[in-house]
Amino acid sequence: MIDDLVAALRHAYPEISIEQVRVSHPGADDDGVWFVRHPRGLTEVQIESSTGRPPFLIESELAPPTRASTIEAAVRLVGDRLGLSFDSA
């Protein structure tokens, strides 16, 4: 679920900010989009899932849209798109 992905991203990158898109017409417009930013990130990353469940579509200016079928894969893709390393100390 998206809540698990958000928790995993915040655990991996404590300074991350994640904001769900605000729609004009709730229920009619698709609100299954989240914007991810990090102070050291190279760009903004977008996560899409109309159901809030995998697969998640991960997008950024730096790479083509990629589907992640697990939370772990989504965390890895978001980190890569942000230009952050899991091994940074």
What is the number of structural domains in the chain?
A: 1
| Burial degree of 54 (CB within 10 A; 0-12, 13-18, 19+) | middle
Which residue's entry shows tokens 């083509």? 64
Within a domain: residue 33?
yes
Is 35 part of a structural domain of the chain? Answer: yes
Q: Find residue 59's DSSP bridge partners.
A: 46
71 inside domain: yes
| Amino acid at residue number 43 | T
Q: What is the pLDDT of residues 5-55, one digit of tens each?
A: 999 999 999 999 999 987 565 555 456 899 999 999 999 999 999 899 999
What pTM, to 2 d.p., does this model score?
0.84
Whether 89 maps to a domain, the answer reads no
In a domain, 87, yes or no: no
Query: Which pLDDT value is given to residue 18?
Result: 97
In this structure, is residue 88 part of a structural domain?
no
Residue 89: the pLDDT is: 38
pLDDT at 59: 96
In a domain, 57, yes or no: yes
Task: Say how far apart CA 54 and CA 84 lie, in whole Å.
Answer: 22
Domain membership of residue 78 as a residue range: 2-82
Residue 55: cis peptide before it, omega within 30 degrees of 0: yes
